[in-house]
Each structure stands twice: as C-alpha cells, then as structure tokens.
Structure 1
Amino acid sequence: MSRIRIDAVLVQAVIAGALSFAHLHDLAEAAGQDGWKAWAYPVSVDLLLVAAWRRMRTTADNRAAWVWFIIALAASLGANVATAGLLDLDNVPAWLRILVAGWPALAFLGGTLLVHSPTAAPTETAPV
C-alpha cells in the first residue's frame, strides 16, 4: 500500500480540483439547478472521471472507459471555460440548460456501464 505524500503537486491537484468543482456548481446553479442539486453536479462529473480512470488502469480493453472519461472531462472543462466570463451566467442559453438537465441520466448510464461491464476473465492456471 502506498502512502499519500504531501507535496507541491498534491497541493496543486487539490486546489485545481476545488476550483473545477466550484465551476461545475456555479454552472449548474446558473442553468437552473438549485440547492443540493447544484452541488450534486460536480460530484457526478468527478465520480464519473474517477470511475473511468480506474477502469482505464485496471482493464486491458478500456475503450468504453476512454469514451466515458472524455465525456466527463468535456463536462468539467466546459464548465471551467463557461464560467471564465465567456458566458453570461445570468442568461444561460436554452441548449446549455438542456445539457445540464440531461447530465444526470448520461452520468448514471456511464457509471453503470463502467461498473457493470464485464472485465477480462482471469486466466486459469493448471494445478501444480
């Protein structure tokens, strides 16, 4: 088991994660999701990223994991860019409200497929 070592890279990663989390929340809130729902969006995006990353690292055939990783990364990156002042958060366009409203179903599908897709069967070894 490896130990977590506090260093500059870990601190940077925590800060970047917190900022990305906040941007996802802000975008969800601006798109009409309020209260706990706005906070659930960044959790669903980040957990899908983690599930896909784990699957990519533990499964030989990881094409599906790459697809879901790219989808979640696009959602995260999109929120970060959208909240950089390029989008009027007081007047979110309908297409973005639709994307935000549809995200839970997409994330549920991705997470379910990543968790319940078959992995490569372990190879049997002959008895010694």
Structure 2
Amino acid sequence: MRAQLARVDAVLVQAVIAAALSFAHLHDVASAAGQDGWKAWAYPISVDLLLVAAWRRLRAGDAKAAGWCWFVIALVASLGANVATAGLLDLDQVPAWLRILVAGWPAVAFLGGTLLAHSAPSPHEDTESIEAQVDASELVPALPAQPVPEPTPAPPVVSVPAALVEHARKVAAEHRTRTGEAIDTPTLRARLGIPAPMADAIAAQL
C-alpha cells in the first residue's frame, strides 16, 4: 500500500513540476511576443485546456480524428514554447512570424474548443443507446390478453295481438279480485296457454 502511494505521489509531483515549467515557458513566449499583463498568463491556460479537451474526446472514443487533430495542435504549441525558451530563440528579438502565431492563437483555440465541445456522437454510441432502450423495454413484462366479453343477445321482439292483451287484462283483474294479489307471469302463461316469450311481452304491458 505504501509503495503504491509512493508511486502515485511521485507521478503527481512529476506532473505538477512538468505542468509548472510548461506553463512558465508559454508565458515567457507570449510575453516576449508582445502579450503583456494578464494576457500573457492566459495563453498557457488556453493551451493546456485545449490539450485536456482533446484528450478527453480521445478517451471518450468518439470523433477521434478531431480529437487527434486538436491534441497535436495544442501539443505543438506547448512543445514549441518549451523548445523556444531553451536558447534557440532570442526572446528580446522575437521574429514577426512568432508574433503572428501568438496573436492568432486565441482564435485557433476558440475554434478547437468549440468543435470539440459540439462534435456529434459516433454511430457506435448511438447504437449502444438504442440497444439500451430496447433492453429496457424487454424488462417490462407483457400483460396477458384480456378476453373480450361477448355481447348479450337482445331478447326477440314478440308481437302480441291487442285482443289477447285485452283478454289478459281481464284474467289479471279476475285473479286480483280472487286472490288480492297481482298475477305473476307463470300463472298468466298457464291461464292463457301461451309460450313464455309471449307471456313476458303481455306481462310488460299490464
């Protein structure tokens, strides 16, 4: 555990030292190219942020061509500044082409950062998203089909002669007088000697 922590600490210390030196070299080149004050400090931040954005795009696995392009551009800018401060360039007499490159860097960095931030996802990523949605839909159990109830057939319409209805009224009145109760359908059917559907139709009219 201690050995692992020691290795991690060594890597972190090395990364901090390298970043600080690169930051200082970029600042010195920008300052020598006429970018004074806060602007000279903004240049190394811009280069490092573009490096990080390009590296993250490469790690994400999509738009690798754009990621490699802007990673190389930012790496060249950082490496060029480090080499330039090694005595190969007179920082008191900076050539015009370097001043032009330094002055044009903000536009280049802005373009690179915008393209990296708004690049479309790769088709592989879209395919994985669709497959995930399909898998999620398969987890929902299918509901069993509910049986459709059959419609109840309507009772047939029975035509009853008016004379038979009138006779049934007399039978019903005689039954009430004799028993004191209204005649029921089975009794009416038995008294008249008619089928059950006709008896029901007559009882509905009484």
Give the TM-score band, short-chain normalised.
over 0.9
Find the aligned partners of 2:28 and 2:11 in 1 and give their Cα distance.
Answer: 26
- Structure 1 residue 14 displacement after superposition: 0.5
Distance in 1 of aligned mates of 2:86 and 2:28: 11
Q: Deviations over 1:25-83 (max 9, x none)?
A: 00000000000000000000000000000000003341110000000000000000001
Out of 32, 36, 40, which is 1:30 matched to?
32
- Say which one has the larger Rg: 2
Residue 63 (1) aligns with residue 58 (2): no
Runs of at least 4 residues off by over 2 Å? 120-123
Q: Any idea what SS the aligned residue of 2:129 has?
A: coil
**113, 116, 128: which one pairs with 2:115?**
113
Instruction: Give identity over the alignment, percent.
Output: 75
* Preserved CA contact (<8 Å) 1:59 1:119: no
Alignment of 1:1-128 (within 5 A): 6-120=8-122, 121=126, 122-125=128-131, 126=134, 127-128=137-138
TM-score (norm 2): 0.58
Structure 1's unaligned 5+ residue stretches are none
TM-score between the two structures when normalised by the length of structure 1: 0.93
Q: Is the 8 A contact 2:57 2:63 kept in 1?
A: no
Distance 1:27 1:74 in 2: 14
- 1:41 and 1:99 mapped to 2: Cα distance? 12
Gaps of 5+ in 2: 139-206
- How many residues in Structure 1 have an aligned counterpart in Structure 2? 124
Distance 2:35 2:63 in 1: 36
Tell me how far apart the structure 2 counterparts of residues 71 and 37 of structure 1 sit (CA, whole Å): 20
Q: Which has the higher contact order (CA 8 A, sep 6+)?
A: 1
